[in-house]
Structure 1
Amino acid sequence: MAPTARELARRTVRDGILAAARARLTAEGPAQLSLRAVARDVGLVSSAVYRYFPSRDDLLTALLVMDYDELGAAVEAADAAAGPDPGRRWVAGCRAVRTWSVAHPGDFALLYGSPVPGYVAPAETVAPASRTTLTLVRVVADALDGAPAGADGAGAGAGTGAAVGAVADGVATLRAAGIELPEEVLVRMLMAWTTVFGTISFELFGHYVGSVSDQAAYFDEVVARLADDLGFSATFG
Structure 2
Amino acid sequence: MRAGRAQLAERGADKLSLREIARELGVASSAVYRYVSSRDELLTVLLIDSFTSLADAVEASVAGLESSPAERLRTIAESMRAWGLEHPAQWALLYGSPVAGYSAPETTVSSGIRVMRLVAEILAQGSRSASAPGLSAEYEKALRDAIEETGLAMDPSTLAEALVAWMSLVGVISGEVFGQLGAELAAFGQESLDREVRSICQRFGLS
* 1:10-159 correspondence runs (5 A): 18-141=1-124, 143-144=125-126, 147=127, 149=128, 153-157=129-133
Match of 1:205 among 172, 178, 187: 178
Instruction: Call closer, same or farther: CA 1:49–1:68 in 2, change over 3 Å.
Output: same
Instruction: Call closer, same or farther: CA 1:171–1:107 in 2, change over 3 Å.
Output: farther
Deviation at 1:50, TM superposition (A): 0.5
TM-score normalised per structure 2: 0.90
Q: Deviations over 1:130-178 (max 9, x none)?
A: 111111111122x32xx3x1xxx34332xx312x843754543334444
Give distance in 1, aligned partners of 2:116 and 2:144: 12
Q: Which runs of 5+ in 2 are unaligned?
A: none
Instruction: Call closer, same or farther: CA 1:63–1:180 in 2, change over 3 Å.
Output: same
Deviation at 1:99, TM superposition (A): 1.1
- Residue in structure 1 matched with residue 204 of structure 2 by the alignment: 230
Give distance in 2, aligned partners of 1:27 and 1:46: 20
Give distance in 2, aligned partners of 1:36 and 1:48: 10
Match of 1:196 among 147, 154, 169: 169
- CA contact 2:143–2:159 (8 Å) conserved in 1: no
Q: Percent identity?
A: 35
Give distance in 2, aligned partners of 1:200 and 1:107: 13
Give distance in 1, aligned partners of 2:191 and 2:145: 35
Letter in 2 for 1:155: S
- Residue in structure 1 matched with residue 146 of structure 2 by the alignment: 173
Give distance in 2, aligned partners of 1:166 and 1:19: 40
Letter in 2 for 1:227: C
Give distance in 1, aligned partners of 2:143 and 2:115: 13
Match of 1:218 among 182, 188, 192: 192
- Aligned Cα RMSD in Å? 1.9
Q: Deviations over 1:194-234 (max 9, x none)?
A: 1111111111111101335321222122111122122213x
Q: Which runs of 5+ in 1 are unaligned?
A: 1-17
Letter in 1 for 2:106: A
Give distance in 2, aligned partners of 1:119 and 1:113: 13
Rg: which structure is higher? 1
- Residue in structure 2 matched with residue 10 of structure 1 by the alignment: none
Letter in 2 for 1:19: R
- CA contact 1:134–1:174 (8 Å) conserved in 2: no
Instruction: Call closer, same or farther: CA 1:225–1:203 in 2, change over 3 Å.
Output: same
SS in structure 2 at match of 1:57: helix
Give distance in 2, aligned partners of 1:167 and 1:128: 24
Q: Deviations over 1:68-114 (max 9, x none)?
A: 11111222222224224211111111111111111111111111111
Letter in 2 for 1:56: R
TM-score normalised per structure 1: 0.79
SS in structure 1 at match of 2:185: coil
